[in-house]
Amino acid sequence: MKPAKLNGFKTYTQAVQEGKYDLYVGNLFGKYDNVRTYWEDQLTKIVLRPFLSNLVDNQGKKNQGIRIVDLGCGAGQGYDILTKIDRHNLDLGVQHKRILPNNDLSVFLGLDISQAMVEKGQVLFADHPHVRFKQADLSEGLGDLKKNEEPFDLYFSSYGSLSHLARKDLVNLLQDICCHGKRDSLIVMDLIGRYSIEWPDFWDAQSEEEKVREYNMSYLYSESVRQTIDIESFPIRFWTGEEVRELTKEITINTGINLEVIKLVDRSILVGRHTDTRAFNPKLKQTRRLINSLHEDYLRTNLEELILDATIFPEHHFITPMLHELINSWNILIKFTKHRLSHNHSLPELQGWDSFPKPLQFALMTMDRVISDVGWMWYCDPRANIIEPQLGYALRTLEYEMQQGWGCGHGLIAILKIG
């Protein structure tokens, strides 16, 4: 008798070989971890919202769509960021109303040095006729785009793509953009901040050579995998907010076209990618891993581990006071939440309330209300699935509202306007 035919055997074998049946660990590490999804992408959208809204409204008055070029686009992830920004904060009864729906987008052109990324983007967006991808080396400026493309309304970059350029090459690119763009065109630069607690040894860099350091993306792998493989390093130019202002002044002088800094924002001050790897600062606590845990379904976080101390970075004449205030506020919020979870309706004593920063006061009131409102629930683990994610959002807002745009985060978002 012949053995029974194993229907689908090859399909299942291939799926196993491709890792489809590996143990699921949630979004606790890797490129698209929870911090990326619930903190970084969302903060980028919050920062961009008013500026993109004005841009879309002004073009709408002319019956024109928005033209966007994504500089260092990868496989097109910037498209999702820009097209999924809500016009307003959502109350419970409002549906999503995007600032930039597809029918308001005239052109989205993605540029990347990697042909593999370009081809992947072409596959992913094959059914989007207004989306195009092109291989380009940004260290050579805009290249033939200067003569082959109409001006763009938004020259966009995300996740450190422009930090891959040496300063002189970024100057050249920005000069090309200023000459190619039009009045009120926006430039969004997402750079790597030099004053991050992830690499305090870089803070006092003086020469241009010292501001370019070897960097790696070891955070893409779990800790156990990182110990078994060789991880590529490559040069990155680290930036401060003041250097961005100096850069725009230089561009203005060189081109005669006014380039204005209209927003600088530090993103991921205490939860940068390398807080987990500790590749550049071994004193760090793995804060990002813990915040990822706050946002993970059915996973309770040991809040005591989230308490930070100021020995994780050295003294610095103007960075230290801001970081101390942020860490102190962070710790007060964690301890308050921990107490409320452990003592039901009991409120801890909060010494010095009147001296607390306003963002901290609001965060404390928010967490008190959340715990009071859901503490009676018994199903679906309200602590893991409601309270802890809300604590994550409260910490995110605390960090965002206390940042100064100095280059103290893993990311430094700079929004520039052509005058």
Q: Other C-beta atoms within 10 Å of 299: how many?
A: 15
Side-chain half-sphere of 245: how many Cα atoms within 13 Å? 10
Kindly list the distances between the CA atom of residue 212 and the CA atoms of 158, 193, 238, 245, in Å, as whole numbers in the listed order.
19, 12, 6, 18
Q: Residue length, the chain?
A: 419
pLDDT at 227: 85
- Cβ atoms within 10 Å, residue 151: 16
* Short-list 321, 320, 167, CA closest to 244: 167
Cα–Cα distance between 82 and 218 in angstroms, integer?
27
pLDDT tens per residue, the chain (419 residues)?
444 444 455 555 665 565 555 656 678 888 889 999 999 999 999 999 999 999 999 998 999 999 999 999 988 989 999 999 998 887 777 788 899 988 889 999 999 999 998 999 999 999 999 999 999 999 999 999 999 999 999 999 998 999 999 999 999 999 999 999 999 999 999 999 999 999 999 999 999 999 999 999 999 888 888 888 888 999 999 999 999 999 999 999 999 999 999 999 999 999 999 999 999 999 999 999 999 999 999 999 999 999 999 888 888 888 999 999 999 999 999 999 999 998 766 777 888 899 999 999 999 999 999 999 998 888 899 999 999 999 999 999 999 999 999 999 999 999 999 99
Strand blocks (E) in 15-153 = 66-71, 105-112, 131-135
Q: Name the token pair of 390.
A: 């809300």
Q: How far apart are CA 385 and CA 399, in angstroms?
A: 22
CB atoms within 10 A of CB 353: 10
Phi, psi of 55 (to 5 degrees): -60, -45
Strand residues in 122-170 grouped as ranges (E): 131-135, 154-156
Nearest to 254 by CA among 318, 147, 333, 179: 179
Query: Which amino acid, residue 222?
Result: S
Rounded distance, CA 218 to CA 40, Å?
A: 18
Alpha-carbon span 394 to 389, nearest angstrom: 9
Q: Which residues contact 253 (CB under 8 A, 6 or more apart)?
A: none
CA distances in angstroms from 314 to 29, 283, 287, listed in the order given = 27, 11, 18
Q: Which of 29, 89, 106, 9 is nearest to 289 (CA)?
A: 29
Backbone dihedral region for residue 8 (phi beyond 0: left; psi -120 to 50: alpha; all else: beta): left
If you ran DSSP here, which 8-state letter would residue 20 be given? T
DSSP assignments along 140-156, one per residue: GTTTTHHHHSPPPSEEE
Which helix (H) or strand (E) is 362 found in, with range? Answer: helix 358-374
Q: Which two tokens stand for residue 354?
A: 């009147």
User: Taking the alpha carbons of 156, 159, 164, 166 in that order, is the dihedral positive or negative?
Assistant: positive
Copy the structure tokens of residue 288: 């990002």
132: its two tokens: 């195009």
Q: What is the per-residue pLDDT for 237?
A: 97
105: closest CA among 143, 149, 52?
Answer: 52
Tokens coding 366: 């928010």
Q: Given this model, what pLDDT does residue 152 score?
A: 97
CB-CB neighbours of 311 under 10 Å: 7
Q: Are 359 and 401 in contact (CB under 8 A)?
A: yes
What pLDDT is recorded for position 21? 54
CA 233 to chain centre: 21
Three-class DSSP category at 79: helix
The structure's pTM equals 0.92
Longest dimension (CA), the chain: 86
Helix axes of 319-342 and 388-402: crossing angle, nearest 10 degrees: 160
DSSP state of 303: G
Q: What is the pLDDT of residue 93?
A: 77
